[in-house]
A = this chain, B = another copy of it.
Amino acid sequence: MYDSISILKDLVKKNDKKIVLLVMDGLGGLPYKGKTALEVARTENLDRLASKNECGLIDPVFPGITPGSGPAHLALFGYDPVKYQIGRGILEALGVDVEVKKGDLTARGNFCIIEKGVVKDRRAGRIDTEVNKRIVKHLNKEISTIEGVEISFTSGKEHRFVVRLRGKDICDEVTDTDPQKVGEKILKSIPTSDKKSAERTADTINKLTDLIIEALRSIDEKPNAAVLRGISGYPDLPQFPEIYKVKAKSIADYPMYRGLTQLIGMDVDRTPTCVEEEFSVLKKSYKDYDYFYIHIKKVDSYGEDGNFDEKVKRIEETDRYIPEIMKLAPDVLAVTGDHSTPATYKSHSWHPVPLLIVSKWTRISGVSGFGESECAKGNLGRIPSLYLTSLLLAHAERLDKFGA
């Protein structure tokens, strides 16, 4: 696999061509009664485009690897998902819409139950989210700074929360406090480097653990402690608009995808709450940007739920917006997913993802429609997701020749 960013940065050039990347999260599927959700869905607009343009399949990492949303998206944006890894704490924070900036640390937390320091239940019986919210409110009141480091808690679902540390001289070179199993003591965080900031951070984390236990004593809730894992800093990622010389707009209605595209420097619109509003943001901002990322979440959600029929409906809903995109006449339109989420598998999977590229410079796949089986016959073949960005830039005539 080539380090595409280091090669592309010397080849990209600006022009006025526009690229739209439409990502249906978890698009790829598996057959149920012989056909996948995408194949069952009536998608006349995508089918027509597929028959007259290029189709293929993309692999987020490599065959057999089931990616999380972070690596799957990084690959779509041309970032090698093995080279560029985003810490779990940061991804969790982005998922619950925590504001993070350079220098911040974040960690995933579980409210748990301990007895004499030993973890008895890592999830405190999966407490209600409402209980979680009461606890977090209390903690934010009780614990605001530790020796100059600002502490801030945000609720997740059930027993999950995110803690953000903000201050000088802290870094993510420390270990977790979560022993990851019951019957063991909450771990002491220890520095994994000899940096002063690592020592200071481990010390802060350990004090934080004690302060949480103390604060929980004063309210009448089930959890009496918390364990932390995935302590991670704001990643230093190459910035998408700089490396690719595009003005990039991110349009998503879920926090994680907004956060992730913010990490790579896209201009994130935080207004849409549904697919319809996403497409109206596209129309409104169309003249001001060169590259648009539009994220459709629900296709994945219903895949995860094992709800085949609703996955079909969400794909059909998205298809109905295709004419609106085509009315804008982008120079390049790509429609794909970040990964597969077959409703029969009820989870992200490793299966390659259908891809459609529409541009005046495509060959013609001559397939009968947009679906897994047809894309497997498409002329793009099967390529790593990592190379999607170079393909889109090429179709937008935004790449110079490599070598003479």
Contacts and interface: CB of A to CB of B under 8 A. Distances in A.
Contacts of A381: 57, 352, 376, 381-382
A399 B350 contact: yes
Interface residues of A, number: 65
14 contacts: A2-B82, A30-B362, A64-B387, A64-B389, A64-B394, A65-B390, A66-B399, A66-B400, A66-B401, A70-B403, A81-B403, A363-B376, A377-B377, A382-B382
A364 to B, nearest CB: 6
Interface in A66-89: 66-71, 81-82, 85-86, 88
Contacts of A401: 66-68, 348
A361 B349 contact: yes
Interface in A6-47: 7, 11, 30-31, 34, 36
Interface stretch (A109-117, A234-242, A323-331, A365-373): A365-373
Nearest to A377: B377
B85 A383 contact: no
Given A57-B381, A382-B381, A392-B64, A71 B348 contact: no
A125 interface: no
B361 A345 contact: yes
Contacts of A349: 361, 394
A67 B361 contact: no
Contacts of A351: 361, 363
A300 to B, nearest CB: 13
A404 B68 contact: yes
Contacts of A82: 2, 7
A183 interface: no
A61 B3 CA distance: 12
Contacts of A383: 63, 382
Given A7-B65, A91-B404, 20 more contacts: A1-B1, A2-B82, A7-B82, A30-B361, A62-B387, A63-B391, A64-B389, A64-B390, A64-B399, A68-B402, A69-B404, A70-B404, A86-B404, A349-B394, A350-B394, A351-B361, A352-B381, A363-B372, A381-B381, A382-B383
5 closest Cβ pairs, A-B complex: A64-B390, A381-B382, A376-B379, A68-B403, A71-B403
A2 B62 contact: yes
A156 B138 CA distance: 79
B403 A363 contact: no
Contacts of A91: 404
B63 A387 contact: yes
Contact of A66 (B1, B67, B377, B394): B394
Contact of A65 (B11, B30, B81, B365): B11
Nearest to A85: B403
A271 interface: no
Contacts of A61: 2, 7, 402
Nearest to A345: B361
Nearest to A342: B361
A373 B382 contact: no
Contacts of A71: 402-403
A92 B404 contact: yes
A2 B390 CA distance: 19
A393 interface: yes
A77 B387 CA distance: 23
A282 to B, nearest CB: 24
A192 interface: no
Nearest to A66: B401
Given A2-B82, A363-B31, A402 B7 contact: no
Nearest to A74: B403
A92 B30 CA distance: 45
